[in-house]
C-alpha cells in the first residue's frame, strides 16, 4: 500500500501585488513540490486586515493573486488553492488557540514590533494576536511542513510550541510542523535597500510579477551596488550586500553557482552585470505576466478554482476543528 503524501501549507497576504521576492523566496519552490507533497496554498486575506484595507481593492488583489499563483505553475488540479476567509474554520480555531497562547510569547514576536512602529495609529488586537491565527492556519490541515523564509521561522516555532502545549493537555490532536527553508532564494532584498528584504512598500526597489520589461530593466539599472572597480562581481553579503543580492537573484534563476557567476563577469563592471540580471528576470517574468493577464480576464474560471479550493480545504479543516471542539468541551451539532 502506498504511503500517503506528507502535507505542505503556506500563504501570502494579498496586501499588494506579488513581487520577485515572493516568487523566488516561495512560489517558485512551491510549484516544484507538487509530486512529493499534498499542497495547500491560500490568499491570507484574514491576516491582511490587521492593516486598514480598501474593500474593493482587497477583493481585486485576492483574485489577481490567485491568477498569479496559477501563472507561476500552481496547477489547481494538483494543489488546493483557496481564499482564507472562505474557510471559517481558520477564525474558529484561531480563537481556541488564542486561549492557549501566552501573552509573553506574542509580545516577543518581532513582526508585531515592526508593524506597531509602522502603524502607530492602528495598533489593534489582531496585530498582536495574529500569530495565533497563523498557528491555526497551519494546524488545521495537520501540515507536516511549512515553507517559509528566515523571517517567518519564528512564527512556525511558536506554532510548534502551541501545538505541543495543546497536545500535552489533550493528547495527540495536532501534528507538530517543521519549517522548510529553501537553500537559495530564501530571502531576496530590495534593489535600492539591500539591507532590507524586498517589499512593496519600497516600489522603486521592488520588481512586481506584473511589471513590464522596460520597468524591470530600469529598476535593475538603478539597483544599488558599490564603488568597487577592481573585482566588482563577487559574493560578499556583509561588505557588498547589493551585489550579493543581485548574484542571489541571478543564481536562483539560472542555476549557476556564485563561483560561476564571478567567472562569467570577471573583468566586467556593474554596467554589464546589472542589465544582465535584469534580462534574466525579464525572461522569467514574461510568461508569468502574460498567463496571469489571460487568467484575470477569465473571472468565471478563477471563481470556480477558489470555490472548489475552499470546499476541499473546509472538508479537511473541519476534521481537525471537530476534534479540537470535542477536546475542549464544546457541544457540536
Which are the catalytic amino acids? 115, 197, 200
Residues 6 or more apart whose Cβ sits within 8 Å of residue 106: 112, 128, 129, 131, 132
DSSP 214-282: HHHHHHHHT----S--SS-S---TTT-HHHHHHHHHHHHHH---HHHHHHHTTT--HHHHHHHHHHHHH
3-class secondary structure, 88: coil
CA 42, 48, 53, 55: dihedral to nearest 10 degrees? Answer: 30
Read off the DSSP letter of residue 156: H
Q: Of 40, 138, 58, whose CA–CA distance to 97 is shortest?
A: 138
User: Do residues 41 and 80 touch, judged by C-beta distance below 8 A?
Assistant: yes
User: Do residues 189 and 22 touch, judged by C-beta distance below 8 A?
Assistant: no
Residue in the block written with cell 553557482: 257
All three cell numbers of 44? 491570507
Q: Is 205 buried (19+), middle (13-18) or exposed (0-12) by CB count in 10 A?
A: buried
Query: Rounded to an integer, what distance in angstroms lies between the CA atom of residue 305 and that of residue 76?
Result: 7
Query: Rounded to an integer, what distance in angstroms lies between the CA atom of residue 282 and that of residue 289?
Result: 10
Amino acid at each position: 500500500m502506498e504511503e500517503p503524501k506528507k502535507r505542505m501549507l503556506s500563504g501570502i497576504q494579498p496586501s499588494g501585488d506579488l513581487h520577485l521576492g515572493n516568487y523566488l523566496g516561495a512560489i517558485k519552490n512551491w510549484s516544484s513540490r507538487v509530486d512529493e507533497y499534498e499542497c495547500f496554498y491560500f490568499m491570507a486575506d484574514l491576516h491582511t486586515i490587521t492593516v486598514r484595507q480598501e474593500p474593493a481593492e482587497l477583493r481585486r488583489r485576492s483574485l489577481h493573486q490567485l491568477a498569479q499563483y496559477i501563472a507561476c505553475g500552481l496547477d489547481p488540479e494538483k494543489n488546493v488553492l483557496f481564499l482564507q476567509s472562505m474557510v471559517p474554520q481558520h477564525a474558529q480555531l484561531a480563537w481556541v488557540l488564542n486561549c492557549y497562547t501566552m501573552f509573553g510569547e506574542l509580545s516577543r514576536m518581532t513582526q508585531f514590533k515592526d508593524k506597531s512602529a509602522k502603524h502607530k495609529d492602528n495598533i489593534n488586537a489582531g496585530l498582536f494576536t495574529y500569530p495565533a491565527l497563523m498557528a491555526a492556519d497551519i494546524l488545521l490541515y495537520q501540515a507536516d511542513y511549512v515553507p517559509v523564509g528566515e523571517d517567518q521561522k519564528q512564527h512556525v516555532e511558536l506554532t510548534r510550541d502551541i501545538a505541543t502545549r495543546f497536545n500535552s493537555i489533550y493528547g495527540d490532536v495536532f501534528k507538530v510542523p517543521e519549517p522548510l527553508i529553501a537553500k537559495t532564494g530564501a530571502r531576496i532584498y530590495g534593489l535600492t535597500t539591500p539591507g532590507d528584504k524586498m517589499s512593496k512598500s519600497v516600489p522603486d526597489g521592488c520588481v512586481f510579477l506584473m511589471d513590464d520589461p522596460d520597468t524591470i530593466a530600469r529598476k535593475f539599472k538603478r539597483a544599488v551596488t558599490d564603488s568597487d572597480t577592481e573585482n566588482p562581481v563577487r559574493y560578499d553579503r556583509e561588505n557588498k550586500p547589493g551585489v550579493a543580492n543581485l548574484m542571489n537573484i541571478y543564481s536562483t534563476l539560472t542555476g549557476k553557482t556564485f563561483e560561476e557567476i564571478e567567472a562569467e563577469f570577471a573583468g566586467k563592471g556593474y554596467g554589464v552585470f546589472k542589465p544582465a540580471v535584469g534580462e534574466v528576470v525579464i525572461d522569467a517574468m514574461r510568461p508569468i505576466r502574460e498567463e496571469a493577464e489571460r487568467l484575470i480576464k477569465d473571472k468565471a474560471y478563477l471563481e470556480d478554482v477558489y470555490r472548489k479550493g475552499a470546499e476541499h480545504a473546509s472538508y479537511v479543516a473541519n476534521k481537525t476543528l471537530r476534534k479540537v471542539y470535542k477536546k475542549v468541551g464544546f457541544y457540536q451539532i
